[in-house]
Structure 1
Amino acid sequence: MELNTLQDVVLIVDDDPVIRLLMRRALSQSVGNIIEACSGEEAIEQFSKHVPDLILLDVSMDMMDGFECCSVIRSLPGGDNVAIIMITALDQPQDIKKAFDVGATDFMTKPVQWPLLSHRIHYVLKANKTIKELTKSKNKLAKAQSIAHLGSWEWDFKSDALDCSDEVYRMVGLKPQEVKITLPYLLEIVHPDDRVFLKTTVMGALKAKKPYDIEYRIFHSSGEVITLHDRTDITYHFGEPRLNGTLHDISNRKKSEQEIAYYAFYDTLTDLPNRRKFLMQLDSAIALAKRQTTKLSLLFIDLDHFKRINDTLGHQAGDQLLCEAAQRIKDSVRISDQISVGSHLEYENDHLARLGGDEFTLLLCQLEQLENVAIIAQRILDSLSKPFFIQGQKTFISASIGISFYPDDGATGDVLLQHADTAMYQVKNNGKNSYQLFSHEMHKTLMDRLKLEAELREAVTLGNQLVLYYQPQVNSVDGKIVGYEALLRWNHPTRGLLTPIDFIGIAESSGLIIPIGKWALLEACKKAKKIHATDVHFERMAVNLSALQFNHANILEHVTNALLETDLAPNILELEITESAIISNIEEAIPLLFKLKELGLKLAIDDFGTGYSSLSYLKNFPIDTLKIDKSFVDGIVNNQKDAAIARTIIQLALNLGLSTIAEGVEYIEQHELLKAMGCSNFQGYLFGKPLPQE
């Protein structure tokens, strides 16, 4: 059958020849080319052969129904451009929905109103022709945008999604329309140095409904950094504002500009920022630290004996040494070094620069622990003290490092640099190859802390300085000792007996609390085993778990091993956990508490009333005991509020079937009042101070 290619082609698909005849007659005056198919399979063949402009497709056919036929045609080449009207004798909503789900353009029900069919077909053909022309124009525009490296996008301010042209997808390294590009996705691939700037700009546009014209860098999926020029305008659609933008890849132009800027801001020998660039970075870092109320540190590094290298081996050798020294400093900062259990020291917010000659500066931002600065400084000294092999000769240098902190040692970059320089010269005067903090008081405090940490680490290694003291817990009814709380002490070789308040903070920040806690748990279980064998009234040995211990991955294993190794009855061991330790990671705390409870031991909430005091966890967690904090017990006799809190805790425990222990009971009046309130047990100097096991 020869078709007129200048006229529309309509394919009629129906297994009823009468219906096909009626349709042909109804359309013969307005449609030039009509072809027919009596089944879904034949319809697919006819479509592949003639690629019609419109298909009238019956839903109910044998073998392949209209839904399946429509779905197959849509998947064929050219299938997305044809208009498909599905026809059925059924008018159920689910059928109509299914028709549109498989790709139908329109839907008609039988009996067909034949006089109106021609008009409806004419309208659908005209609309489909308009869509084809728009698609053709869109393809031409996309081709032009691709040649010009220009993409377009639109945002309706209502969702995170952006409506992007194909070229935008290609710019970021994605296949066109592969995924939905959203604002969070765009911010994620933006260069970290430009991310805050872009986010601030976009949020400003959202708030003020105003356009912007900016440049920023993004990471292509290949890892390449490209620079985009983003120019926007505000339009309105039915009164609603929209942000329309064009993205232009200006990477080549920027590359030329950056090459020019490089010589102005970077040291060509070491590729590090020069003095001018570093001072700009320092001012920016101070401004950020001021906004975020954080600290930063400036290290002024001067190489010792460098002039000797230049004088003996020549300037070329000196240049080689400077490059290698710069790399060693970089590596000293960026290598991830496990300094404690579960704690890694790694600074990504660092700025290393060469000020000139043999002087370098290092900026450490967003400091959390000041002692980390001393660790990094020492690591730099250790790295630079290793031999250099220059022009086949082994040579040695060292370094003098001065350190200043913002805001403690200065509020401006000039002052911080001056003070770090002053501290560096102090090192030079004292013999070189060391570091010095500008603030002598801070330096002393930091040195004392580092020294104490080193001594504590040694104490853990030696195993003969840490001891447990035991404080009795007595029954409120008969006054008999029913348990003990194991309390940690450190027999320091020069400072004497230290309580946890003197060193527990260092133990937690350094990660030493994990091996210490493991040892204490085992020792307490050993002692409990001995007491239980001789004292029929002995009910429990209480052991504190720090938040770090409780949230440690192996805590269940540590507890299980302690019970197995000592053969202690699990019901004798009571673990005291603070409210904050539980609430800080509640999703993992709940199953862990139940696993601990399954071992058969007791669980107590320490310092109850000073934290969250959530009634929900008392209801849901397998808790046995509430410990009333000493801060409430101290004022229980003379302060009605403290008394009311203590009474409430005790009554709450009684109602929930929990026992109570009042901590810090020192006077008989406190004892009598708490006993009258119904407190189960007491602990404090009134009954006994913490004593060594002997």
Structure 2
Amino acid sequence: MTHATAHDVILIVDDDPVIRMLMRRALNSSMTNIIEASSGEEAIALFSVHLPDLILLDVSMDKMDGFECCSVIRAMPEGENVAIIMVTALDQPDDIKKAFDVGATDFMTKPVKWPLLNHRIQYVLKANKTIKELTKSKNKLARAQSIAHLGSWEWDFKNKTLDCSDEVYRMIGMQPQERELTFANLIEIVHPDDRELLSQTVKNALLTREPYDIEYRVLHGNGDIITLHDRTDITYDYGEPKLNGTLHDISNRKKSEQEIAYYAYFDTLTDLPNRRKFLLQLESAIALAKRHSTKLALLFIDLDHFKRINDTLGHKAGDELLCEAASRIKAIIRQADILGESNQSDYDNNHIARLGGDEFTLLLTELEEFDSVAVIAQQLIDELSKPYFIMGKQTFISASIGISFYPNDGLSGDMLLQHADTAMYEVKNNGKNGYQLFSHEMHKSLMDRLQIEAELREAITHGDQLELHYQPQVCATNGHIVGYEALLRWRHPRRGLLTPFDFIHIAESSGLIIVIGEWALLEACKKAKSLCAANSHVKRIAVNLSALQFNHPNILTHVQHALTQTGLPPRMLELEITESAIIDNVDDAILLLFKLKKLGVNLAIDDFGTGYSSLNYLKNFPIDTLKIDKSFVDGIVNNQKDAAIARTIIQLALNLGLSTIAEGVEYIEQSELLTSMGCNDLQGYLFAKPIPSTQL
């Protein structure tokens, strides 16, 4: 048993000095820290100074009686933590009830049984210390829950009321313990679209006594909509089941996911769907047309002379013109008489996209005859050719439109897009400002593609045409070169030096990328040893893995072989992987990434923000670095949305303990802004173009 000690402060309050003396004598001789008060007023003054652990308080005193004194002390700072034993000759039930109503811990009647007083005080002190510790632990838990936006609740299945922590109340915009919470009144503030989910889930828990783990939205007291993650468990007290739950406010995480997901599928400048979104929409439209035996048309729209606007008026003017052009395309589709009243509502923004730069696409579905497409194409050309007033100046552009049809010109989205693109370039070659339907005479372009594939195979066989160029990656804070990215080049015997843009799509579609990737990995590791030896600041060589290469069954063997053959320390190799490669098969990707990580290499997500951008894989995958895509860096200075995306990615990486590198940095303003945001490393033409191995 815990005994009262000299550290415990005891306050004796009684207007009879004899009683005070007898109480002092009855207390344990080791308890020397005893103070006395002859009135309620004096007791209050002494309490503020000494903060006693226990008060022996007489009820019947002149002026201020014990009831009033107890009530005042309880209302004072630290007044809730002191044990108060009220001592009185009154022994009526109403008097005892009144004592506990004003906050007494215990009640003792006169005459006092002096031999038992010491034991009584020891037990009260022990109990009060236990209560203090529990209160302290509860306060710590409450503070932790508040910081983490995490609340807890408990339900015994018998009562309607939920036992909720204070943070639960704060989450939903109520004062702590403002009222009793039940599932019935909780359902009232749940978002209407989520009420059925929560109701059915709780009903199932009642029937099966099984826990659940769900997310739902709640209307906060201030009018905001917050998202809660509700995770539960079943426990048993004396054989009786209880449902214990935690509520986590994940609104910020959901907002970040939604923002990243939105910008992964939509163009930040025009708010139109981007290439990724459009391709998904196109495949869906093709599947629908196939099922219903209908036709569709794909229009590939490229603005003529757009580069001239950028060069003469600047990128801000170019952005303004792109937005105006997008608005005109949408207006034409809404007003096109050829669609008919019944179909106009179907042509929303999902049928129009900005593929990138000055390229737009338009998808027309459920066509009855192809002639109507030519009418719309001409209307687009006429509208886009009208004068633009950009930054107070009148300017003109035109448009070249290529058109392909399903099923006549292709059965897949890639083929339709390729054929429409081919038809558009035919317009460009014939003077621009017009439209062209794809014809099978354009098959020559496909034959050229096959020719490139054959020449690429020849280049791989001889091994002297492919080479790696290296672009430095610099530290944003001190400008030191900290790494290099290995970039593939093809020194074509007739066409000169080619970048991956000219041939990599052919390499991937033909499967040649596997052989090329294995060679590039080995070559880069060889060069990395000499680069790191020449410059102590260089810590890594970055090598891209295409989606096809990453998902190849022998990729782990290829990486191990490159490291073993060259003797390169694994930490100096960084593998850059695209988001699409990761999410194609999440389970296999997780396993492979951990195997690669076990080798000791670093892993980076290339072009982050342009793909799926789910926070789940950042949480679950062993990723070291996020590479901010050039498409965001290009507009970071003048476009607030691009700047917001970059800042969100950098802050997200910082919170997750990841490093960041921005690619495509061309201007000092971009470099300074990215550095101020906290980006770790930078890469781009501002520092150096990719250069051959021999020039390093």
Please state which band the TM-score falls in when normalised by the shorter chain: 0.3 to 0.5
Which of the pair has more CA radius of gyration? 1
Higher relative contact order (Cα pairs below 8 Å, separated by 6+ residues): 2
TM-score (ref. length: structure 2): 0.39
TM-score (ref. length: structure 1): 0.39
